[in-house]
Amino acid sequence: MDAKNLKKYEKEMNTCIRCAYCFEECPVIEQKGWDTSGARGKITLSYGLLSGELEPTQSIADNLFQCTLCRNCESKCPSGVEVCDIILSARADLVENGFANDTHKYVIKNIKESGNIYGDTEAIPPVQDGDVPLFIGCQYLSRPNKTKKFIKILEKLGINVKVGEEICCGFPMDVLGFKDDLEKHKEQFKKLFPHKDAITFCPTCTVFLKEGHDVNAKHILQVILDKLPEVNLDMKVTFHDPCDFSRGLKIIDEPRLILEKLGVKVVEMKNNKGNSSCCGGGGGILMSDSELSDDIAMKRIQQAIDTGADIIITSCPTCETTLKKAAAATNERDGTNIVVRNIEDIIWKGLKQ
């Protein structure tokens, strides 16, 4: 197999000391239980593909795509191995050698044809002139009411945003292994979004604008924290830290301080902040392995229920989707009543008081 992408990480793979600290609280290994479900096993498989000791198979490809890329393994690795980069490179080599997942191919086709992951030609940005460029992203363009609410929040706080035509940030192409498509997409992206600074709504878009496009992107929660008035909503909730927030952007305090200013008491889950458990929606498995995604999300919902809170708040649209599905299933099965809300709903409620 031609493994040109993995070749760059040969030294990195040899740095792994096979200690298995990466197994601790890995969302996939907790569900699957095999060594190859965790980072150590995936690095071993990747090295086997690079060295030629392993021939690529659909089974190996499926395994390397069973990762949420939550970065939990990287935060625990004593050797500082860049696990996610290795897995992304292995995926890219597998895709180039004919092992792309059909569902993933469909998503990439949507991006190329419509500019968004859903293939939705009606997902159009609410174009307006303003002072600060805003990047909305596929997830929020497909949720126009949420987009309007976030923009109104910014306006109420005196932040005038500039909204133009946009296309997907390209993160799905990167995470699903479509490197060649990504490079072409980046050129198109830059023509539509030439800005050096931006406000964003989606944590994943925030990460990729920074890392993939060299844009000084700030998530809306970073921008509005100091501008929010203090109110008393008198609520008790638990907060789910999205992986791209807590481990990707290192944004941990901001959402909690915002909720505190709004008079919302946060009861922490067992795994929280930098050690937060994944929702099960990352890395592409929400599209290609919904059963695994559901199982991971159900475990997270149970952690929320164990806090005694009736509401779980998150700041990521993907987390919101997976957790809502898991909450509905848990409520139906066990008679619980926990609900999932995006933090913008709580912010809007506070501003309306």
Are residues 137 and 218 located together in one domain of the fold?
yes
For the cut 90, the answer to whether the pLDDT of residue 35 exceeds it is no
Name the domain boundary from 51, 78, 96.
96
Same domain flag for 244 and 345: yes
The CATH number of the domain holding residue 248 is: 3.40.50.11810
Distance, in Å, from the CA atom of 274 to the CA atom of 278, rounded to the nearest integer, reads 11
Per residue in 196-214, pLDDT tens? 999 999 999 999 999 999 9
Structure token digits, residue 100:
């792309």
Q: Are residues 233 and 212 in the same domain?
A: no
Largest CA distance in the chain: 64
Using 50, 70 and 90 to split pLDDT, how confident is the model at 2? confident
Shared domain check, 343 and 245 = yes
Say whether both 136 and 217 belong to one domain: yes
Query: Has residue 111 been placed in a domain?
Result: no
Q: Which domain holds residue 24?
A: 4-96
* Residue 222 binned pLDDT confidence (cut-offs 50, 70, 90): very high
Residue 63 lies in a domain: yes
Short-list 310, 299, 236, CA closest to 271: 299
Q: Which of 79, 96, 113 is where one domain is finished?
A: 96
Residues 242-261 have a mean pLDDT of: 95
Indicate if 232 and 188 belong to the same structural domain.
Answer: no
pLDDT mean over 170-186: 96
Confidence of residue 131 (pLDDT cuts 50, 70, 90): very high
Q: Is residue 109 part of a domain?
A: no
Number of domains in the chain: 3
- Mark whether 248 and 345 lie in a shared domain: yes
Asked if the structure places residue 127 within a domain, the reply is: no
313 or 3, higher pLDDT: 313
Residues 274 and 286 in one domain: yes
Task: Please provide the distance, in angstroms rounded to a whole number, between the alpha carbons at the two ends of the chain.
Answer: 61
What tens digit of pLDDT does each residue of 53-70 get? Answer: 999 999 999 999 999 999
Of 209, 224, 239, the residue at which a domain comes to its end is 224
Residue keyed to tokens 């609280």: 25
Tell me, yes or no, whether 148 lies in a domain: yes
pLDDT of residue 353: 76
Specify the CATH number for the domain of residue 16: 1.10.1060.10
Do 220 and 238 belong together in one domain?
no
Quote the tokens at residue 134: 């805003």
Q: Is residue 106 part of a domain?
A: no
**Are residue 240 and residue 188 in the same domain, yes or no?**
no
Q: pTM here?
A: 0.94
The C-alpha atoms of residue 38 and residue 26 are separated, in whole angstroms, by 7
Q: What is the mean pLDDT of the chain?
A: 95
